[in-house]
Amino acid sequence: MPRSPTTLDAFSAVGEPRRRDILDLLARGERSVTDVVQALKLTQPQASKHLGVLRKVGLVRVRGAGQQRLYSLNADGLRPIHDWVKTFERLWGERLDRLDQYLQQLQTQEKPNGGSE
C-alpha cells in the first residue's frame, strides 16, 4: 500500500498554508477567483486549484454570477477540526482550576509503562 491522498478531508486541506490564507480571506466575505488572485498574489490556476480542493472537501461554496464564480466560506466544514482540537483544550490549561489540574495529572500518569509484572 503506497500512499494515501492528502487532499480529501478538511484536515489535510487546511494543512496547506495557501489554503488557510484563502479561508482567512473568504471569512471576510464572498470573493471571486480574481479577487483571490489579487489579494493573495497567486496565479489564476493556482487559485482555481486550491479553491477546487477546498470545495471538494466542503470548506467553501461556489455561486455563479455572470462569468464570475463567487466563492464563500462554508464554516461548517471546519467544525470537525474545531471539535477535534477542542478535545485537547484542557491539556494546555486554558482556565484550569486546581482540582482539574490534579485529575489531569492522574490521567497523564495513568500508564507510565507497559509493565505487566
Partner DNA sequence: TCGAAATATTCTCATATCGGAATATATTGT
Partner DNA sequence: ACAATATATTCCGATATGAGAATATTTCGA
User: What are residue 80's phi and psi, to 5 degrees?
Assistant: -55, -40
* Residue 115 touching DNA (CB under 7 A): no
* Residues near a second copy (CB under 8 A): 4, 6, 11-12, 14-17, 20, 23-24, 27-32, 34-35, 65, 68, 70, 72-73, 75-76, 78-79, 81-82, 84-89, 91-92, 107-114
Q: How far is CA 60 from CA 47, 48, 75, 94, 98, in A?
A: 13, 12, 8, 30, 42
Among 33, 54, 57, 60, binds DNA (CB under 7 A): 33
Residue 82, helix vs strand vs coil:
helix
The closest of 36, 59, 39 to 48, measured between CA atoms, is 36
State the nearest-atom distance from the C-beta of 99 to a second copy, in Å: 19
Q: Which stretch binds DNA (CB under 7 A): 3-11, 22-30, 73-81, 93-101?
A: 3-11
Among 2, 83, 92, 98, binds DNA (CB under 7 A): 2
Q: What is the length of the chain?
A: 117
